[in-house]
Structure 1
């Protein structure tokens, strides 16, 4: 048997509990991974609370869209992997029924990638969702180039920190947005070329001051809601905004800022595309090897204390990813 975290009703962290579940044997083309650690993501919180953008079937719903571990079993006709290989989960699109908050997960072999050498288990657990989202939004979708000035909202979160590192690896200039001015020094240390604290600064004026009077080339919106209008106004006339998050539950006004380009981005449009995943994995491996890409870990919990991990996420005071070891 295998342990798994489930919830039977929507609500706060206390609705989660651990149950014994059968260990699923991999079918043709599948792999079973023994999970060593997983990260806690905002989407997990949304699914658990009932505010997820997608449906969650109750009871006995599962959680977890990323994690790392070692190959535990191979299904028939599964090639390219060996038992004992350390891997990262590259896609868990059915997290509500087969999430990574567990001892084991069985999934198609195409949905795992080799774990980059040099990453600790906790770092490997926290790297894929944030970095693949930031890479997909900025590189694949927005076409970020060297020299671009990139405005990043929710910059202290996992995707925001990843976006700053990826921008720097490519040669772009990351400008971090945060609601709290006390996070300025931390964000500068994390790679921001400049930090705009919205509790004391006007976003549009501050961006133009940073860039010599003109707007940013790209904005990565991890929040949405009414605040998106400020990001649009802070862009140059033919700039690009990529909406990749949904932290603000309030309605987002329809953009009316032509000729700006506005994209809506969800990571599964790329993490289920094997060609793009190969590019992401190659970029990630290169960045880790060069020391340019490294996830920030906030705090590490154990599976038995997963409720506390979610409580910390809800407080919103974490700096980096919250990780749970199994």
Structure 2
């Protein structure tokens, strides 16, 4: 089969199309003929040499795909060859075929086409597991979402609104804030022009954010703590602004707040399976009803993965970028 291989780590030009051995479905796995694959920041970090591949994982990038089941491994039940599915991966999605544990696979939501579905697994699993399973977002909570226009941000806005909480967002342009507004954000903050801490306090009458979903990391740590409500939860899922910062523990304790750091890729299969089961139970119906809609910016053929990454790196996109096979 053809797959995207990382040559010398670096820029988008590091991504090369090569003929490689096709995978096989092992016990408990399904083999998927890939229709499309989603691009995520973790793929960029892997391309740059900053994200070591977990042991036993495919070296090809790609953490989510849509496709058709081509074969079932020993012991797999409840899925059938030919079924169109979306799958959460640990790697290997930039390829014509991928083998994945069956518990990380879901049939497509009603009304979602097979290409668009590739935008969902990593994004939906990340948002639901962090906001609702880890941070326990409740109806009426104020939820601050940094990076409102990306794949995670656009999904988080819609999911928070759909479950009755209040999305507050930051973005760096009027156009991106307009998009967030159209998706259900209630408070729009241009971080280039406004102090988000003050803006959150004003919008919540001094209450603060009950939950913050952060992709920035060190650069925002103290300001996120300032913006948190009493008993607030800060969930850090990215380190675009650095990995090391000092934390005011007196302030953290006084607010009875929690700082939660998570990743999805390295979790055991059982945990990923539980997350995908919850996504199928709670998020898939919202997609089928139209309460949440996938947002795809552009698609590129698999062979143009370098161009797709160049576009991703530009920061111009809103929503997801996909590779089609």
TM-score (ref. length: structure 2): 0.92
Instruction: Tell me by how many angstroms 1:23 deviates.
Output: 2.2
Unaligned runs of 5+ in 1: none
How big is each residue's C-alpha offset from its partner over 1:35-62, in whole Å with a ceiling of 9 and x where there is no partner? 000111110000001122x4579xx941
Match of 2:15 in 1: 16
Residue matched to 1:63: 61
Residue 166 of structure 2 is aligned to residue 196 of structure 1: no
Equivalent residue for 1:83, pick from 77, 81, 84: 81
What's the Cα RMSD here?
1.8
Aligned-pair distance for 1:271? 6.8
User: Residue 250 of structure 1: CA displacement?
Assistant: 5.1
Q: Which residue of 2 aligns with 1:106?
A: 99
Report how far residue 129 of structure 1 moved: 0.9
Match of 1:216 in 2: 209
- In structure 2, the gaps of 5 or more residues are none
Matches within 5 A, 1:29-40: 29-40=28-39
**Cα distance in 2, alignment partners of residues 246 and 272 from structure 1:** 26
Shift of 1:254: 3.2
Alignment counterpart, residue 264 of structure 2, candidates 231, 249, 267: 267
Correspondence 1:97-176 to 2 at 5 A: 99-176=92-169
Change (3 A) 1:255 1:41: farther
Between the aligned partners of 1:55 and 1:305, the Cα distance in structure 2 is 22
Q: For 2:98 and 2:316, how far apart are their aligned partners in 1?
A: 30
Tell me, in whole angstroms, the C-alpha distance in 1 between the residues paired with 2:296 and 2:130: 22
- Per the TM alignment, residue 253 of structure 1 is displaced from its structure 2 partner at its CA by 2.9
Alignment partner for residue 226 of structure 2, among 209, 233, 247?
233
Assess if the C-alpha contact under 8 Å between 1:39 and 1:324 holds in 2: yes
Aligned-pair CA distance for 1:272: 3.9
Q: How many residues align?
A: 317
Question: Is 1:324–2:323 an aligned residue pair?
Answer: yes
Q: Note if contact 2:84-2:114 (Cα within 8 Å) is conserved in structure 1.
A: no
Structure-1-length-normalised TM-score: 0.92
State how far apart, in whole Å, the 2-side matches of 1:160 and 1:111 are. Answer: 22
1:108 positional shift? 2.2
Q: 2: distance between equivalents of 1:255 and 1:155?
A: 27
